[in-house]
Amino acid sequence: MSSPKKIVMGNLKNFLFVAVFMLFGLGVQADTTPYTPSICALSLDAPLNSGIIHVVQGRHKIRVRIETEGPVELTMFNSSGETVYQSSVQVNKRVVNIDTKNYAPGVYTLVAESLEETEEIMLTVK
C-alpha cells in the first residue's frame, strides 16, 4: 500500500504535467466528471460521460462511443446554430470519429438523439 505522501506527490506530478500542457496551449480539455489519473493509462483527452454517448475530445477529432442500444442521430452545431456535422448511426456501428481539424475555433454543441432521449454536450474546438 502506498503512503499518503507518495499518493500526494504522484497526484502533484500529474497536476503539474497537465498544467504545463495547458500553459503552452496544447489542447487539454476540462473534465466535468470525476477522473482519477492513472500511471498506466495517462491521456490528455478528458472523457465526457453521459447516458446516450461517451465523448473523448482530442486535438483534431472527437470520438463518440454510443452507449445506448438502437439507432442514434448525431448532429453538431456551431455557435451560430449552423449544422457542421450530421450522421445517422445504426445499431451495428458503435463508435464515430468526427474530424474537427478544419473547424473554426469556437464552441460547438453535439446533440445525440436516441429513440428514448435527447442529450446535448458543449465542446470547445481550439
Q: pLDDT, tens digit, for every residue of 104-115? A: 999 999 999 998
Residue 119 banded pLDDT, cuts 50, 70, 90? very high
CA distance 61 to 13: 27
Domains and CATH numbers, the chain: 4-125 (2.60.40.3080)
pLDDT at 68: 87
Q: pLDDT, tens digit, for every residue of 15-71? A: 666 666 566 555 545 444 444 444 444 344 444 555 788 888 888 899 999 988 889
CA distance 108 to 83: 10
Name the most confidently modeled range: 31-35, 78-82, 122-126.
78-82
CA distance 82 to 84: 6
